[in-house]
Amino acid sequence: MLTAFGTVAVSIMFLSYWQEARSKWLVLLFAGASAFTAVYSALAEVYPITGVESLWSVVALRRFWQRHQAERVDRDSLHRPAA
């Protein structure tokens, strides 16, 4: 069961990373999958991987937030009346 959990987590991580240019939500999915991979590696007692995957999750969350803010600024600039 643990192996299946790890396989699914890593597969989602790979697919979302591969396609993340399509949507900021795929970046968020990558962050979540990285967190699940960190949980998997902790349960498997592979602690160096736990640390690395945790960091990947934080980095991806930061990328998501930056992309979200950039899209919001772009959207807001479209709705402003021309000066």
Strands, DSSP E only, in 9-71? none
The residue segments making up the domain with residue 49 are: 2-79
Q: Which residues of 31-60 are buried (b: 16+ CB within 10 A; e: fewer)?
A: bbbbbbbbbbbeeeeeeeebeebbebbeeb
Q: Whole-angstrom Cα distance, residue 50 to residue 17?
A: 18
Number of separate domains in the chain:
1
User: Where is 58: in which H helix or E strand?
Assistant: helix 47-79
Query: pLDDT of the chain along its 83 residues, tens only?
Result: 888 999 999 999 999 999 999 999 999 999 999 999 999 999 999 999 999 999 999 999 999 999 999 988 877 777 666 65
